[in-house]
Structure 1
Amino acid sequence: MSISKKLFFAVMISCPFLGMAQAGSVGINTSSPGSTLDINGSIAASYKSVIVNNYNLTPTDFHVAYNGTTDAVFNLPPAISGSGNFRGRIYRIQNNTNFNITVNTVAPEKIGGSTSVIITANRSLQVISTGLSGADSSWEVLTAGADTDLHANNGLTMSASTMQLGGPLTQPTDISTAGNNLSVTGTGKLLVGTTVPPAGSAPAKFVIDNGSTNGALQIKDGTQQLGYVLTSDANGLATWSSTVTTAFANNWTPYSGTLINPYTGSTGGSALATGIQVTIPAKGWYFFRCGVAINSDCNDYFFYINGVGDVWRSYCGSNTAAFMFPRDQNRVLYFATPGTYTVLAGKTNGVVPAMFNQGNPSFYLDFVKFQN
């Protein structure tokens, strides 16, 4: 009998807790092993705690706990083909922090089809080597459920092992409810009553399609009243308001510029410069009032806004020099477009007035909006 065999049997005799079966199985604390290795007791393996944020897993590692203070990267060893192949090697990585661990393979190897796996805060990952190399999956994930790299995004949140709605939509997402009552497209368009944007809605982000049924929109914010319309401020904030302005007293807007005498020419005509203009803030109906003193013999004098209408007009009333009447006049004018409008003047013949803009009060022109 060789020395090695004698030594083996000596160990067997001195260690009654070690047994061997005829089939080549080894038992620890059992004399009848049912598997290749049958251990009747606890098992201990390598445990390591690391704080570095870039760690290369080694052949002596088994359970590695990360306790660092930043996101970390763990690198799996490259697969070995032939002698030294470590098929079946298991690594268990525990993340004990609120940061992420990215577990990388050596390209082009993969973990279950992916080149990397993320272990989120307070999660763990267990992988086993398949013994394969190259572009094949060299590692497989052993653990499942809450122990894998489950992480929630795009409308989901994660709490322990519970995944639930409530996170931000970070990816283009289409959401359609039963009956096509509501649809949120991945391009950020909200459709109500349809999942197909109707004609003409290409630039719109919010679309209501109520077919032929009245009452598709209802907004109640406390400002709504019968007959009110939805209006906007300069920032686009909408509220309900009346179409009629009733408080004229404090809302009058005066003309801008400096008045000049437009009637100095010896010929008649229109488009005479006055030097003044008015700025209309929004389309709608406006109430104008104007007063000017003109002393002249027979002639027609007028102020007007081209394409809109007269602001002030006085007709020939005397063959001798006299003040034109009425001095103070009111007009109702409609402006289809907001903007700054020039006030022009005209007269029907070549008479130059003996006196222009004299009297008390002096020239005035102001306006107020009273209806949309």
Structure 2
Amino acid sequence: MIKIYAKLCLAVLALSPAIIFAQAGNVGVNTANPGSTMDINGSLAANYKAVTTSYNLTSSDFHISYGGTADTVFSLPVSISGDGNFKGRIYRIKNNSNFKITVNAAAPETINGNISISVPANQSVELVSTGLSGANSTWEILSMGTIVNNNMTASNGLTVSGTDVKLGGTLSQASDIATAGNNLSISGTGKVLVGTNAVPAGAASAKIVIDNGTTNGALQIKDGTQQLGYVLTSDANGLATWSSTVTTAFANNWTPYAGTLVNPYTGGTGAAGLNTGVQVTIPAKGWYFFRCGIAINSDCNDYFFYINGIGDVWRSYCGSNTAAFIFPRDQNRVLYFAVPGTYNVLAGKTNGIVPVSFNAGNPSFYLDFVKFQN
């Protein structure tokens, strides 16, 4: 009889929501001896709703599933003080998307003291109304995902603060970030500090600071070009590789000139900028050792070979008023090139005397060079 009466009451309540029903004692459904105010021996159904956009929760909601394609916002109802207060109302929100749901309390109300909470992708939250209104914690988090909020922890480089999990903390295990072809960027005006959390003196404009204290070996770069005694050098675009500071000039790795030598001294006046037909190709900036030899039979004149803006590679001064081979014919020079490239070797003389012979003796013309220092 009690079961039939209880079912009839529930049916009346369902059909007449404005009716106020009060009863002392417990009500049982499919149970003869209810032990609670409402004792149901069977399944229980509540409203299920699926949405794909932002949503305002209502009095008829219980479980809301989100399956949208962008971040969205759910808004909780305004609390009621006095008649109509819905203290104990429970909402379950499930995020079935790859995006974030922001759940907002109606200002100035809060959720566990926060104006809003986030439900990450494929997570859920369960909220209960405290019955409070105004600037109070009108909603409490019963559970979040599969972790009860009060027991939530963060580790391996993360720190939990309330319901907020922040970047920063003790790295508790070896970690690898697999970029899978994606770029990992650190932008903004801040710096990346390694070995310290304070910017040291002189590092105001630095973006990366490594402080290894007094221990040697704070930086290691391996790209296959590293060798003992090498230094890190840069090309014009700032791309760095390892290179030797010194290359011996006596290792038989000389580079000869290019082109075909022509006689630059056939003119009857003194001049510079004369074409020799000779070029040198410098592969990288640095100091180079040049050696050059040429046979010129002439009376008094100053003859020279040079690279414009760099310096002489060979020069002989007037030493006789009668025709003779200029000497010393074999000369060495040390020149610095700030920019790699191909340079023309030019010639000049100080007066209009045309040599009796040019490159007709011993040695025949040679010019070669080797880099020996950056």
RMSD: 5.1
More off after superposition, 49-58 vs 129-138: 129-138
Q: Using the alignment, how far apart are the partners of 1:82 and 1:129 within structure 2?
A: 14
Q: Using the alignment, how far apart are the partners of 1:241 and 1:191 within structure 2?
A: 28
Q: Using the alignment, how far apart are the partners of 2:205 and 2:110 within structure 1?
A: 44
Among 252, 257, 266, the residue aligned to 2:255 = 252
CA contact (8 A) 2:279 2:344 kept: yes
Aligned twin of 2:290? 288
Structure 1 residues 174 and 338: alpha-carbon distance in aligned structure 2, compared to 1, 3 A threshold: farther
1:123 and 2:123 correspond:
yes
Q: Using the alignment, how far apart are the partners of 2:170 and 2:63 within structure 1?
A: 45
1:236 and 2:245 correspond:
no
Q: Using the alignment, how far apart are the partners of 1:176 and 1:57 within structure 2?
A: 39
More off after superposition, 85-94 vs 63-72: 63-72
Aligned twin of 2:25? 26
CA contact (8 A) 1:80 1:86 kept: yes
Deviation of residue 129 (structure 1)?
A: 2.6
1:58 and 2:49 correspond:
no
CA contact (8 A) 1:124 1:147 kept: no
Deviation of residue 48 (structure 1)?
A: 0.7
CA deviations over 1:258-314 (Å, ceiling 9, x no partner): 98948958569xxx4346886755453312133555442123323346896541022
User: Residue type matched to 2:59 in 1?
Assistant: P
Structure 1 residues 94 and 210: alpha-carbon distance in aligned structure 2, compared to 1, 3 A threshold: closer
Q: Using the alignment, how far apart are the partners of 1:367 and 1:63 within structure 2?
A: 83
Among 199, 202, 206, the residue aligned to 1:200 = 202
Among 300, 303, 326, the residue aligned to 2:302 = 300
Aligned twin of 1:333? 334
Aligned twin of 2:47? 47
Aligned twin of 1:320? 322
User: Residue type matched to 2:26 in 1?
Assistant: G
User: Residue type matched to 1:207 in 2?
Assistant: I
User: Residue type matched to 1:89 in 2?
Assistant: R
User: Residue type matched to 1:352 in 2?
Assistant: I
Structure 1 residues 45 and 69: alpha-carbon distance in aligned structure 2, compared to 1, 3 A threshold: same
In structure 2, the residue corresponding to 1:141 is in which secondary structure? strand
User: Residue type matched to 1:289 in 2?
Assistant: R
Aligned twin of 1:156? none
CA deviations over 1:153-208 (Å, ceiling 9, x no partner): xxxxxxxx8855379xxx9977799xxxxxxxx9333434x554444344442434
Aligned twin of 1:189? 192
User: Residue type matched to 1:320 in 2?
Assistant: T
User: Residue type matched to 2:74 in 1?
Assistant: F
Q: Using the alignment, how far apart are the partners of 1:288 and 1:15 within structure 2?
A: 114
CA contact (8 A) 1:230 1:240 kept: yes
User: Residue type matched to 1:333 in 2?
Assistant: V
Aligned twin of 1:104? 104
User: Residue type matched to 2:56 in 1?
Assistant: N
Q: Using the alignment, how far apart are the partners of 1:84 and 1:355 within structure 2?
A: 121
Deviation of residue 62 (structure 1)?
A: 1.6
CA contact (8 A) 2:257 2:367 kept: yes
Aligned twin of 2:156? 165
CA contact (8 A) 1:172 1:187 kept: no
User: Residue type matched to 1:165 in 2?
Assistant: N
User: Residue type matched to 1:371 in 2?
Assistant: Q
Deviation of residue 95 (structure 1)?
A: 3.1
Q: Using the alignment, how far apart are the partners of 2:240 and 2:224 within structure 1?
A: 14
CA contact (8 A) 2:264 2:347 kept: no
Q: Using the alignment, how far apart are the partners of 2:166 and 2:153 within structure 1?
A: 24
Deviation of residue 61 (structure 1)?
A: 1.6
Q: Using the alignment, how far apart are the partners of 1:253 and 1:172 within structure 2?
A: 63
Aligned twin of 2:180? none
Q: Using the alignment, how far apart are the partners of 2:352 and 2:97 within structure 1?
A: 95
Q: Using the alignment, how far apart are the partners of 1:283 and 1:65 within structure 2?
A: 66
| Structure 1: gaps of 5 or more residues | 1-10, 151-160, 178-185
Q: What is the TM-score when the length of structure 1 is the normalising length?
A: 0.62
Q: What is the TM-score when the length of structure 2 is the normalising length?
A: 0.62
User: Residue type matched to 1:126 in 2?
Assistant: E
Deviation of residue 73 (structure 1)?
A: 3.8
1:350 and 2:351 correspond:
yes
CA contact (8 A) 2:123 2:145 kept: no
CA contact (8 A) 2:109 2:115 kept: yes
Q: Percent identity?
A: 48
In structure 1, the residue corresponding to 2:103 is in which secondary structure? strand
User: Residue type matched to 1:335 in 2?
Assistant: Y
Q: Using the alignment, how far apart are the partners of 2:356 and 2:300 within structure 1?
A: 13
Deviation of residue 124 (structure 1)?
A: 1.9
